[in-house]
Amino acid sequence: MAAIVPDPRHPLLWMAYVSLSCIHGGRRIRYFNAAPDTEMLASLARYVEEGVVRPHVDGVYELARIADAHRAFETSGSRGKQIIMLA
């Protein structure tokens, strides 16, 4: 899991996560902010619009095939998101 914008309210905690993650390999938690504010989400949206950040979609499934999405996630070691279409 990787955060795009570090949390300025907890810089030491963020640096500790990054440092430990670098020591223990590439597929670790870099940082996670469970409550992004409006400004942070707006910055992320700008990065996506500018092409700086590109979301990676591993699969798209209709709601009726949600079990297939779960299986794909559990078995493939996917690096992207599994998308469920609701409409």
Q: What does the pLDDT look like over 29-43, one tens digit per residue?
A: 555 556 778 888 898
Same domain, 7 and 48: yes
Same domain, 48 and 65: no
Q: How confident is residue 1, by pLDDT bands cut at 50, 70 and 90?
A: very low
Same domain, 13 and 48: yes
Assign 26 to helix, strand or coil: coil
Same domain, 8 and 48: yes
Same domain, 26 and 63: no
Tally of domains within the chain: 2
Stretch (H or E) spanning 85: strand 81-85
Range of the domain at 69: 55-87
The answer to whether the predicted template modeling score (pTM) of the entire model surpasses 0.75 is no
Residue 30 in tokens = 């870099």
Neighbours of 5 (CB within 10 A): 15
Same domain, 60 and 49: no
Same domain, 47 and 75: no
